[in-house]
Structure 1
């Protein structure tokens, strides 16, 4: 593992985890940052029953509240607690897939007050957002634009079907984030199911190719020159790309931009470390056309 501590010059990556519910044996996406003492954590979760797990995170601040649009609302408590949501499950859609409807069965409704992210965190500057609030993600972001404008990256659950009534889908979230200077990078996991009544390998929760939801990572547009004027931001994003997603090429790209803007020499050091660690050759490219011309010639010849 490459140690970013010296490059960060004592700074920590400030993480906010909204919908921070944990289950025993589960590790958050930012576990490697915890392991290497590279982050601070603010955990937001209305369900107090998981606090005993959240307190084990590295010096986490815990806020037991719900974020979205300010006002009185209801939390739909589902058969599987991690499926509980401010939105009502869409049983018509869920009934079309195997192993879904039972988990989303509402067993209780709890009245609660919902706060807006920008009201609760008026002065914080977060670097990384992890958010999984079962269909209400876009509502949280729309009421957290000040905080959104400071983020380097967002790890967010997105859905391709309406598991909840009126739930914004991936296309809606993607459009919103693109309109706020964020670029899609990758999916990091997905949920799949078969059609209702079909089982794969004797299990109703083993689908094959039908994606229903996924986790996605977005990063602030690297061409936004004004945003990246602060040197620590590029190092933090490089650290995120490296430790959370193994996106060594984009980590190297952040370091290359940093070298160009601030006169450092981090890319060459990083490339050497990556070569020893993964046998991946990374270098700064100045002329790719010669390489591409050979490929084009070969294709045209065939």
Structure 2
């Protein structure tokens, strides 16, 4: 802890309050599948807790599953849930399988969710979590000090087609974190969005990827299926400009 904090008791109290809150959040995951997660992995914790007051054994789609940290968090809150995870990058898939090997009812699908069935190129970043089907803007590279390192071909599929073919169930909960491609994945679910109860989505207020849909476009689209903004995630800053945050949409009849 910085020595200067002791000369400003208000800053010290504020810092201690933040650390206490962080500790309490992590303690909620003790003895669960998410016990080894860190603060950077649990931005959606409170949003999942909201959902847990309504649903107990949901079918969940984890779109943009990465290495499985969000799936572990969801399983911590919903131990009896069935999770279908979608992740196209081979290195992420390998880590996902290692992370979730001991958990039941988790199904990993090695492709991207979109609004067309095709093969596309994904732009792989030096920080692989930032890899996207969209081209990154200079803002993305400058904000996170990253660069594009390669490309890879990946399968993109419309989830509504897979549901129609009985290859996937209709989800109760959807989480999306796919680097600007969220709206395309939602469009690919088509009218099945009417049957989804909750959607957790990372939204942007600035263009980090070329032609990405920003918050208002996503919110307006979801409103046509009776999904409305319900809560903001823990990573929402107070009194500061918004860049990217997790939000919760709820289906309201």
Residue 185 of structure 2 aligns to a residue whose secondary structure is helix
CA distance in 2, matches of 1:216, 1:58: 27
Structure 2 equivalent of residue 112 of structure 1: 154
Among 191, 196, 201, the alignment partner of 1:156 is 201
Moved over 4 A (4+): 26-29
Contact 1:187–1:216 (8 Å) recurs in 2: yes
Contact 1:54–1:62 (8 Å) recurs in 2: no
CA distance in 2, matches of 1:40, 1:89: 33
Contact 1:87–1:164 (8 Å) recurs in 2: yes
Residue 234 of structure 2 aligns to a residue whose secondary structure is strand
Q: For residues 171-198 of structure 1, what are the alpha-carbon distances to aligned partners after superposition, in whole Å with 9 as ceiling and x for unaligned?
A: 1001011111011111103377xxxxxx
Structure 1 equivalent of residue 9 of structure 2: none
CA distance in 2, matches of 1:132, 1:72: 20
Higher mean displacement: 114-123 or 135-144? 114-123
Task: Report how far residue 146 of structure 1 moved.
Answer: 3.6
Task: Report how far residue 27 of structure 1 moved.
Answer: 6.5
Structure 2 equivalent of residue 256 of structure 1: none
Structure 1 equivalent of residue 243 of structure 2: 212
Contact 1:155–1:215 (8 Å) recurs in 2: yes
Contact 2:136–2:208 (8 Å) recurs in 1: yes
Is there any run of 5+ residues in structure 2 with no aligned partner, and where?
1-27, 29-48
Aligned 1:128-139 pairs, distance under 5 A: 128-139=173-184
- 1:90 aligned onto 2:137: yes
Kindly tell me the number of residue pairs found equivalent between the two proteins: 195
Q: For residues 255-298 of structure 1, what are the alpha-carbon distances to aligned partners after superposition, in whole Å with 9 as ceiling and x for unaligned?
A: xxxxxxxxxxxxxxxxxxxxxxxxxxxxxxxxxxxxxxxxxxxx
Is there any run of 5+ residues in structure 1 with no aligned partner, and where?
193-207, 225-302
Structure 2 equivalent of residue 70 of structure 1: 117
Higher relative contact order (CA 8 A, sep 6+): 2
Residue 235 of structure 2 aligns to a residue whose secondary structure is strand
Q: CA RMSD in A?
A: 2.8
Contact 2:160–2:192 (8 Å) recurs in 1: yes
Q: For residues 226-252 of structure 1, what are the alpha-carbon distances to aligned partners after superposition, in whole Å with 9 as ceiling and x for unaligned?
A: xxxxxxxxxxxxxxxxxxxxxxxxxxx
Structure 1 equivalent of residue 106 of structure 2: 60
Aligned 1:158-173 pairs, distance under 5 A: 158-173=203-218
Structure 1 equivalent of residue 229 of structure 2: 184
CA distance in 1, matches of 2:129, 2:57: 29
| CA spacing shift, 1:74–1:84, aligned 2, 3 Å | same
| CA spacing shift, 1:210–1:28, aligned 2, 3 Å | farther
- 1:79 aligned onto 2:121: no
CA distance in 2, matches of 1:27, 1:114: 21
Structure 1 equivalent of residue 188 of structure 2: 143
Q: Which structure has the bigger radius of gyration?
A: 1
Taking structure 2 as the reference length, the TM-score comes to: 0.69
Task: Report how far residue 16 of structure 1 moved.
Answer: 1.0
